[in-house]
Structure 1
């Protein structure tokens, strides 16, 4: 599924299948296909040099931009009203954040259809659909030429957000 990704550096900061399961129970939803594979095979890090970050369970539950912090922030600063049919604020407040881009675009899923990955772009007031399943969403983020110039690099650089520099 992610065979075109090359790990640069290390060590990997992997999540366990049990951590994924615990987060799904706590959040009341499953993650999209590919998520478990990604966080257990690559873990926490950044893909595409400095572009896509898929949050591991510990980040979603307790990290710097945890689910609770993210919900509070978007509830206060909601501005994606250009496509209320695709993602009204009420629906977004039911979503789960699963990652972001270094540019500040946020990747979310809705419990009714966790396969469909939405993007709340930093520089646009309309939500987007990145695809179904994590592999398709990552490919769209890297190659659609919509949020950033398309690039072919699929290098993954691990890091641990729990370690203070």
Structure 2
């Protein structure tokens, strides 16, 4: 698994919160994953967070989900759930300590689901990465393609957005990303039909090309990598990009 930037160590208070989690209820590898890598985003999809017993309590008062005979918990029991992750789409991953269930509370569906995971051979940080991939396959019906990476929340991330305007004789974003990886060989690449991420340890981040949009490029970087960012920005401007 590629780690985008230096993880931010957990504070003593955060370590205490984590130590109070029942390891028998938490998903395999969840505790050791957070202890090693800290909070962050896995593969641009799942936000791995410290356990939060408060965030779901207000949802017990809203009729967001159906609670029939197929529901693993009642509406009132939502207040007992401890959130351990969210997706970029707004879904919740939570544990329900009284019943020792791992639950999926979807943003765009009306049924809460209990997740049954295959037991891992060992309980380490890599195990939780496999767990999240298994959840993705269950939610979307297929495995997630592309590279495996984790983006720690450092609190010192900066960003810069640029636009590649359309025009006769102008490069496409796909062509630009190909040229960029030749000019600046990346440490890791994640590419799909919709986007391309070129990762650089020197940046503590990546250069992103939004193929779906067709015009947007962005540089995500740590505060102490400003000079490297300026070098890449200058190169992108020389190829026709414009700052936003």
Could you say which structure has the higher strand fraction? 2
Q: CA RMSD in A?
A: 3.0
Quick check: 1:109 aligned with 2:103?
no
Distance 1:70 1:92, change over 3 A: closer
Distance 1:71 1:123, change over 3 A: same
TM-score (norm 2): 0.50
Unaligned runs of 5+ in 2: 120-126, 159-244
Distance 1:83 1:158, change over 3 A: farther
Counterpart mapping for 1:1-165 below 5 A: 5-8=1-4, 10-15=5-10, 19-23=14-18, 25=20, 30-31=22-23, 32=26, 33-48=28-43, 50-56=44-50, 60=52, 67-72=53-58, 74-81=59-66, 83-84=68-69, 85-114=71-100, 116-132=101-117, 135=128, 137-144=131-138, 146-147=139-140, 150-152=143-145, 153-160=147-154
2: CA distance, partners of 1:12 / 1:71: 30
Q: Which has the higher Rg, Structure 1 or Structure 2?
A: 2
Deviations 1:105-136 (A, max 9, x none): 1011011344x321101111001233347736
Moved more, 75-84 or 29-38: 75-84
2: CA distance, partners of 1:78 / 1:110: 19
Alignment check: 8 A CA contact 2:48 2:85 kept:
yes
Distance 1:139 1:36, change over 3 A: same
SS in 1 for 2:66: coil
Equivalences, count: 144
TM-score (norm 1): 0.70
2: CA distance, partners of 1:36 / 1:17: 15
1: CA distance, partners of 2:57 / 2:143: 30
1:160 deviates by: 3.6
Unaligned runs of 5+ in 1: 61-66
